[in-house]
Structure 1
Amino acid sequence: MTPALPLAVLGLVDAAFSGFRAYAGRDARIRKHRAVVRSALRGLAVGAVLLLAPALTAGGVLLTAADRARTYAALADGGIGYLLPLALYAAAVLLSLAAYFILPFRASTLAMVIGLGPLTLLRPLAVGIACLGALADGGGRASLLVGAVAGAAVLCVEPIVHRRWYADVLHHRPGQ
């Protein structure tokens, strides 16, 4: 099994959430469904472009490899090692989101504070552990390279979306 598709799906879902996080808290309107969807789509678009980098890196590694079959197998093994920690992280995020949407108001707020808040801060650590998983699962340096490029790509989505669309929102004053 090639882990490329599940990793791409996780990366794109993370990018959509990153777009939302770049926007969150910057708009005091009550009805902001359109703005939330727009911010998630912006994150998705930026993430789709940035996730071309690890795909191109993997393609370059394969094209320059002396033994492409063995390199492909190593990249697949490393991809599985990369996927496992991220799947655990995603499961924890989904559990926190489910608690947020299902529980009563106070409990859902607690789920947000003790679940989603810290998990957001742990994203870079999860990516680092995923890189180590790619290396430890037999992927070697090639998988570590592709994993590091992919990790950098997903961690750059939120700052890019924020800078491109939302940075000036904080400095905008009515009447100016």
Structure 2
Amino acid sequence: MTPLDGAPSVALALAALGLVDSAFSGFRAYAGRDARIRKSRAVVRASLRGLAVGGALLLAPMLTAGGVLLAAADRDRTYAALADGGTGFLAPLACYALAVLLTLAAYFVLPFRASTLAMVAGLGPLTLLRPIVVAAACVASFVHGGGVPSLLVGAVAGVAVLCVEPLVHRRWYAAALRD
């Protein structure tokens, strides 16, 4: 088994992380806009909106990777570079996702005051660090052996995931603030 055999699983892991992040972005675009106590339907709707927008935007890095492969003189070498870059891109994102997962677990497991502290001290700063983590993932894709092709695909993917929340907010929730 070669390292390239793991490339599809890395791509699937990146796509799954991107889609989960998109659902959270939809939630963040909605959060704080509704004072109702029971709003689980609205939260699910916002998350699905984020998922839909994110799914559409994540086609861009897939098409970019396909274009890079089609334009490459040596497709095997470019595929290997993209696979290495994908592994590098995944490492910072996996660490970030683990931190978010641990914070969410603390929220659901701990008593009320401790869970509130976990949310404020954990998810608040993690949300602010998100663009920095995406930038670090782009750099890691380049440094991990992916070179310029991986940096290009990583940058397109990074822009795509960072655009989900503003697009969902602008499309569905910005008018609620103006009214």
**Paired residue secondary structure (1:122):** helix
Give the TM-score normalised by structure 1: 0.97
Of 159, 171, 174 in structure 2, the residue corresponding to residue 167 of structure 1 is 174
Matched, 1:140 2:139: no
Give the 4+ runs in structure 1 shifted more than 6 A: none
Q: How big is the shift at 1:101?
A: 0.9
Matched, 1:55 2:62: yes
List gaps (5 residues or longer) in structure 1: none
Of 26, 29, 32 in structure 1, the residue corresponding to residue 39 of structure 2 is 32
Structure 2 distance, partners of 1:111, 1:141, is 39
Question: 1:49-106: CA deviations, max 9, x gaps?
Answer: 0000000000000000000000000000000000000000000000000001111110
Matched, 1:105 2:105: no
Please name the residue that 1:19 is paired with. 26
Structure 2 distance, partners of 1:112, 1:169, is 25
Please name the residue that 2:124 is paired with. 117
Q: How big is the shift at 1:170?
A: 1.1
The percentage of counterpart residues that share the same residue type is: 77
Q: Given residue 159 of structure 2, which amino acid in structure 1 is its aligned partner?
A: A
Q: Given residue 77 of structure 2, which amino acid in structure 1 is its aligned partner?
A: R
Matched, 1:7 2:20: no
- Counting only pairs closer than 5 Å after superposition, residues 82-93 of structure 1 correspond to structure 2 as 82-93=89-100
Q: How big is the shift at 1:114?
A: 0.8
Matched residues, number: 172
List gaps (5 residues or longer) in structure 2: 1-5
Q: Given residue 106 of structure 2, which amino acid in structure 1 is its aligned partner?
A: A
Q: How big is the shift at 1:25?
A: 0.3
**Paired residue secondary structure (1:117):** helix
Structure 2 distance, partners of 1:120, 1:100, is 15
